[in-house]
Amino acid sequence: MCMSETQNCARKGIIYLMNLTVTHARTEESIEAKALWFRSLTLAERMDILCAFTEFLLMANPKITEQSNAQLIEGRVLVLATA
């Protein structure tokens, strides 16, 4: 998959800006910045992240695949429904 010249320039600009403003404080990272970063990834890079999170989850809790469908826990989750 080949990026257009505009997309390539935008991506390089984002990487440049991210390198200028590297922070390790989560309070300084907006959800918009995270979304912009995620949208800048290729489909292959997004899939790599999905696989990494899946592998991490399975390493942390290998028995998760044996669990049946999740059930609601009263008082812990607020479920919003359309009327």
Residue 71 lies in a domain: no
Encoding tokens for residue 49?
């992240």
- Indicate whether 79 belongs to any domain: no
Domain count for the chain: 1
Cβ(42)–Cβ(4) under 8 Å? no
Query: Which tokens sit at 83?
Result: 């009327």
In this prediction, residues 67-81 reach a mean pLDDT of 69
Range of the domain at 50: 5-66
Q: How far is CA 67 from each of CA 29, 37, 39, 62, 64, rounded to the nearest angstrom?
A: 34, 33, 32, 10, 5
- The answer to whether residue 18 is domain-embedded is yes
Tens of pLDDT, residues 12-66: 766 665 665 556 677 767 888 888 888 888 898 888 888 888 888 888 888 888 8
Residue 8 has pLDDT above 50, yes or no: yes
Q: Is the dihedral of CA 70, 75, 81, 83 positive or negative?
A: positive
In angstroms, the CA 43 to CA 30 distance is 23
83 inside domain: no
